[in-house]
């Protein structure tokens, strides 16, 4: 029996933070939480394959990893690559009420996705 999404496949969610914005710990946490919820919603409302990955990710305890980039260009490049690879990509833009200008892109959520597919895009990034 052949399946495109094997039973033992590991899944994860990557939260990619712009380190160049120098957000504080609370601000960073809020923006990452926002990205994670957006990714969850996108997956829940997405294709059957995305639903299946979401369920697997939840059963695995929702593994997530927080990474950093150093510019908007890097974040934007990853978003485009993810979209081309048909991965869920949710970009958080700050409402601008506190530390940042309104509309500043802060965090990109990628996944939940097959960890191998995701690593093709993010394995070179450093942990935040």
The minimum distance between CB 2 and a copy of itself, in angstroms, equals 32
Kindly tell me which of 29 and 80 has the beta carbon lying closer to a copy of itself. Answer: 29
The minimum distance between CB 64 and a copy of itself, in angstroms, equals 5
Kindly tell me which of 20 and 80 has the beta carbon lying closer to a copy of itself. Answer: 20
Kindly tell me which of 81 and 99 has the beta carbon lying closer to a copy of itself. Answer: 99
The minimum distance between CB 86 and a copy of itself, in angstroms, equals 22
Kindly tell me which of 60 and 84 has the beta carbon lying closer to a copy of itself. Answer: 60
Which residues are at the interface with a copy of itself (CB under 8 A)? 13, 15, 17, 24-37, 40-41, 58, 61-62, 64-66, 68, 95, 127-128
CB 109 within 8 A of CB 24: no
Give the chain as a DSSP string: ---SS-TT--EEEEEEEEGGG---HHHHHHHHHHHHHHHHHHHHTS-HHHHHHHHHHHHTT--EEEEEESSHHHHHHHHHHHHHTT--EEEEE---SSSS-TT-EEEEEEEEEEHHHHHHHHTTSEE-
């Amino acid at each position: 029996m052949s399946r495109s999404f094997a039973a033992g496949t590991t899944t994860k969610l990557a939260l990619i933070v712009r380190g160049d914005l120098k957000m504080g710990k609370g601000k960073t946490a809020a923006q990452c939480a926002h990205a994670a919820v957006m990714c969850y919603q996108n997956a829940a409302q997405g294709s059957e394959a995305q639903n299946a990955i979401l369920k697997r990710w939840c059963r695995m305890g929702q593994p997530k990893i927080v990474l950093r980039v150093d510019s908007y260009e890097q974040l934007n490049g990853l978003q485009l690559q993810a979209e081309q690879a048909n991965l869920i990509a949710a970009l958080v833009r700050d409402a601008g009420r506190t530390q940042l200008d309104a509309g500043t892109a802060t965090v990109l959520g990628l996944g939940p996705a097959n960890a191998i597919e995701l690593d093709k895009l993010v394995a070179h990034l450093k942990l935040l």
